Amino acid sequence: MANKVVRIILIIVLFIVFFELGLFGSYTIVTAEAPNIQGLIDMQISKITGFFSPENVNQVLVKDPTPLTISNKKDVALQMEELSKVDGVNYESINVTTYEDPDNSELNVTIQALGYESPNSTSGQIVISQVPSYKIIAYGVASYKSGGLMVDKDSVTINSVLKLY
């Protein structure tokens, strides 16, 4: 039994040694400089210990986002339309979520909505499609005001505009 444990430990040590030699060799080839061995080992140790830090463990165990209802959907839809350069945003499709505590006075929110492209014109006829063409994802800051939870229009930034097929 002790012989098997020694073999397993030896295999692990050899694996680590060959990995490090490969890392140093590839570093030398890529940078054409001698590697800073202490710096590379310190970087590896800090990355490995970073995986197990309490902050990163909590980020991995992320809870589901909290859906929110905002009172200025039309204003947010117009702002998203202007920023994303689409021809229309369906304000009824706006979905606002946050990972923060909804009781905070200000919340960072994720805003998702469906967008439309310009009508197609074929042979003199204009064909207006009811099918959305884009999914728009934006970020913003929401706060509670007299009318309820409102997203600050000036804080809205577009993260992505995805083409739907």
> Which residue in 64, 66, 74, 90 sits closest to 151, CA to CA?
74
Could you say which residues of the chain have pLDDT below 50? 121
DSSP classification of residue 124: T
Render pLDDT for 38-68 as a digit per residue (tens, 0 to 9).
888 888 888 888 777 776 666 656 677 888 8
The predicted model scores a pTM of 0.58
| Helix, strand, coil percentages for the chain (3-state, nearest 5) | 40, 35, 25
- pLDDT score at 55: 65
Q: How far apart are CA 75 and CA 106, in angstroms?
A: 18
- pLDDT score at 86: 82
- pLDDT score at 10: 95
Domain ranges in the chain are 2-60, 66-163
Q: How far apart are CA 15 and CA 21, in angstroms?
A: 10
